[in-house]
């Protein structure tokens, strides 16, 4: 009987190894362990084995049965691994977010959202600008210090330069748009600066301007007050103070209390306890005259702010240079 068991085992191993699918495996299992299967019939014949051989034959049958059952299971699992599921490449898949928005992009989006609710549109302008739009139309005469080579990066002196402020977009908009209008623009500006913790040769500005009949300084102050409280928080301290800008008359500046030192003075606020966030004012009458408007009939206001300082304030960044040195945490 021992030879019969070994013959059935070897034959079953060959059949299991040569099976091509689960249906064939199932038929082999039935042929081995079914009601009339080979292993089942061998088990029934144990009663005819002499008493002194039954224990040895029983152990051999159990080992054979266990071996064949394990082989059937392993072969069945191998078929599962090899099954290739049907795939439809046209089905839309969830978008995988890679990286993060740069802090400057985050701030621009947040600020634009506030001004959109105040009726402002969004525009853009060229970074390579002409002297005409960057200076002449903005009430900046030829001998004005802002035109100095120490402040402006000229590409082809004296007409072609990298814009030193986003006010150049203001002049282009006044030239091309018909009042009433309210517009904001965010973009890069360039100046010859000593690079330090709070200044850089390339920086972002956020510019806003409006032109229509009846605008006054109170409209400007209300707009800036609403923006500052909406963006920086109702508990943040704000102050307005008189300032001179050749593009506006009268001119004002808006300062926020320094969050890094709580007004005590530090390197970020240059020891003042306040951070200058923006300059603003009523558009100068000379600028309106440059475009053929009568200052007594139509007025406008403008404001410009250094975005980098707002980004530093928003994300508690102490050094402006870390925004543009390739730090992976800002990408």
Q: pLDDT tens digits for 121-165? A: 999 999 999 999 999 999 887 887 766 755 888 899 888 999 999
pLDDT at 299 over 70: yes
Between residues 272 and 286, which one has the greater pLDDT?
286
Q: How far apart are CA 263 and CA 215, in angstroms?
A: 34
Residue 260's φ and ψ, nearest 5 degrees, are -75, -30
- The pLDDT assigned to 82 comes to 55
- The pLDDT assigned to 330 comes to 66
Q: Show the 3-state SS of 183-237.
A: EEEEEEEECCCCCCCCCCCEEEEEEEEEEECCCCHHHHHHHHHHHHHHHHCCCCC
Secondary structure of residue 162 in the 3-state scheme: strand
Report, as an integer, the average pLDDT of 250-278: 84
Determine whether the annotation assigns residue 249 to a binding site: yes
Percent of the chain residues past pLDDT 70, beyond the cut: 95
Q: Which of 61, 69, 59 is nearest to 44 (CA)?
A: 61
Report, as an integer, the average pLDDT of 295-324: 87
- The pLDDT assigned to 217 comes to 94
- The pLDDT assigned to 150 comes to 56
pLDDT at 276 over 90: no
For tokens 């951070």, what's the residue? 275
Q: Band of the pLDDT at 10, cuts 50, 70, 90?
A: confident
Contacts of 267 (CB under 8 A, 6+ apart): 197, 198, 318
User: What CATH number does the domain located at 103-330 have?
Assistant: 3.30.930.10
pLDDT at 290 over 90: yes
Sequence spans of domains, the chain: 2-82, 103-330
β pairing state of 248-257 and 274-283: antiparallel
Report, as an integer, the average pLDDT of 245-274: 85
Q: Are 256 and 274 in contact (CB under 8 A)?
A: yes
- The pLDDT assigned to 233 comes to 87
pLDDT digits (tens, 9 = 90+) for 22-54: 888 888 888 888 888 888 887 777 777 777 777
Q: Band of the pLDDT at 94, cuts 50, 70, 90?
A: confident
pLDDT digits (tens, 9 = 90+) for 164-192: 999 999 999 999 999 999 999 999 999 88
């Amino acid at each position: 009987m021992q030879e019969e068991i070994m013959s059935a085992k070897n034959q079953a191993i060959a059949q299991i190894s040569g099976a091509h699918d689960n249906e064939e495996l199932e038929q082999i299992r039935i042929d081995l362990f079914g009601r009339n299967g080979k292993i089942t019939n061998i088990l029934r014949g144990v009663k005819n084995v002499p008493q002194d051989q039954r224990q040895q034959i029983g152990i051999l049958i159990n080992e054979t049965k266990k071996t064949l059952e394990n082989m059937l299971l392993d072969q069945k699992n191998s078929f599962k691994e090899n099954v290739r599921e049907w795939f439809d490449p046209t089905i839309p898949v969830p978008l995988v977010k890679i990286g993060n928005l740069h802090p400057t992009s985050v701030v621009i989006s947040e600020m634009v959202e506030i001004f959109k609710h105040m009726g402002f549109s969004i525009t853009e302008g060229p970074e390579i600008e002409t002297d005409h739009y960057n200076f002449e139309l903005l009430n900046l005469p030829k001998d004005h210090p802002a035109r100095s080579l120490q402040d402006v990066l000229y590409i082809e002196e004296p007409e072609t330069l990298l814009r030193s402020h986003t006010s150049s977009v203001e002049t282009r908009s006044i030239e091309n748009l018909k009042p009433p209008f309210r517009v904001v623009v965010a973009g890069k500006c360039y100046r010859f600066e000593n690079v330090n913790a709070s200044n850089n040769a390339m920086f972002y500005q956020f510019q806003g301007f409006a032109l229509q009949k009846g605008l006054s300084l109170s409209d400007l102050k209300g707009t800036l007050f609403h923006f500052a409280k909406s963006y920086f928080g109702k508990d943040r301290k704000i102050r307005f103070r008189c300032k001179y800008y050749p593009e506006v008359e009268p001119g004002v500046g808006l300062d926020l209390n320094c969050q890094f030192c709580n007004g005590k003075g530090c390197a970020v606020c240059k020891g003042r306890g306040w951070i200058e966030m923006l300059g603003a004012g009523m558009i100068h009458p000379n600028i309106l005259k440059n475009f053929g408007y009568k200052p007594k009939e139509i007025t406008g206001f403008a404001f410009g702010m250094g975005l980098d300082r707002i980004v530093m304030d928003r994300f508690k960044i102490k050094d402006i240079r870390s925004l543009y040195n390739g730090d992976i945490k800002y990408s």
